[in-house]
Amino acid sequence: MGRLILSRGSSDKRKVTGSAAPSSNVKDQALRALAQLPPFSPILNRLIASLANEDVSFAKIADLIEKDTALAGNVLRLVNSALYGLRGTVNSIRHAVSLLGIAKLRNATLSMSVARMWSQVKTPPGWSMGRFNLHSVGVAIMADLLTQRRNVEYGEGAFAAGLFHDLGLLLVALGLPEEYKQITLLHHQSPKWILEYERQVLGVTHLELSAEALAIWNLPEPIQNAVRFTLTPDQDPAVVEPGGASMSRVLNVADRYVNGIGTSLSMFEGTPEDGQLALESMQLGDELPAVLSEFKSEFSSIQGYF
């Protein structure tokens, strides 16, 4: 890896000069960290398959949830929470499925399963898996809500895209801990240069690694593409229908909003003003208050599971 030199530019922003590591070697090393993650549970395997439009029976998923005592308890706890304001108590997964619907069931089960899987991972000092999970699920919830108001290609994949958009950063922390530490130190000098620092140190960005990992997991290409361009949606080649938005734009807005409310990874801090401006850019008009209200309810209800 080339030596890194910090130089102060005329705008007083610290930039990085020097040579980057060969991206193919670094990429392979980071992606090998996927093997450090616990194996998928049967439920998670079926949820991933459902995102790829494979023939998956949600009745079978309900059967699997029933066999997982911890997950079944969390699903029932969620459906009986103040979020749904139901009269009486739901005490069966079958009933919960009928009340939540397929999309909500998949989103809740996917986030709980992934969080439980990632919580078993040994991460380097300074990494907070709880914060990582909260940020990821916050972006997933907001992205899902936004796709319900705007015409977005493959909007049903927005929740998964939000949940996995920073997977590459986890892989860097696991597979390249020294490089992760170096990027963090550099980023603390100037938060606006995160992608430049990643390319400088790694030769590849964490978002590109996320997209590569999701390809290995066989998630649909629209999800891979949206994740890849989360921080650069203007470069996304995806075709957008009139009046619609690309999924990468939705992820960008959701990410900025969640960072703005303080649920960020340490190197991706944002401001409330930036988050509000991001949401306003979606031109939701009178629907904006409803989006914010729904996000607050869903996010606060699921926080307790992370």
| Tens place of pLDDT per residue across the chain (306 aa) | 332 333 323 333 334 344 444 456 888 999 999 998 998 888 888 888 888 877 777 788 888 888 888 889 988 888 887 677 666 788 888 888 888 777 888 888 999 899 888 888 888 888 888 889 999 999 999 999 999 998 898 898 999 999 999 999 999 999 999 999 898 888 777 766 678 889 989 999 999 999 999 999 999 999 999 999 999 999 999 888 887 899 999 999 999 999 988 887 766 666 777 888 889 889 888 999 999 999 998 898 888 777
Rounded to 5 degrees, what are φ and ψ at 103? -65, -50
Q: Which residues contact 67 (CB under 8 A, 6 or more apart)?
A: none
Angle made by CA atoms 103, 107, 108, in degrees to the nearest 5: 120
Question: Which of 3, 23, 21, 14 has the alpha carbon at shortest distance from 168?
Answer: 23
Angle made by CA atoms 164, 142, 276, in degrees to the nearest 5: 120
Q: Which residues contact 231 (CB under 8 A, 6 or more apart)?
A: 194, 195, 205, 207, 252, 255
Angle made by CA atoms 57, 38, 300, in degrees to the nearest 5: 70
Terminal-to-terminal C-alpha distance of the chain? 37
Q: What confidence score (pLDDT) does residue 24 get? A: 67
For residues 203 and 22, is the Cβ–Cβ distance under 8 A?
Answer: yes
How many CB atoms are located within 10 Å of the residue 191 CB? 13
Q: What confidence score (pLDDT) does residue 192 get? A: 61
> Inter-axis angle of helices 272-280 and 247-260, to 10 degrees?
150
Q: What confidence score (pLDDT) does residue 23 get? A: 57
Here the tokens at position 48 are 């991933």
Residues, the chain = 306
- Domain 21-37+122-306 class? mainly alpha
Q: What confidence score (pLDDT) does residue 276 get? A: 86
Q: What confidence score (pLDDT) does residue 3 get? A: 29
For residues 302 and 222, is the Cβ–Cβ distance under 8 A?
Answer: no
What are the domain boundaries of the chain?
21-37+122-306, 40-120
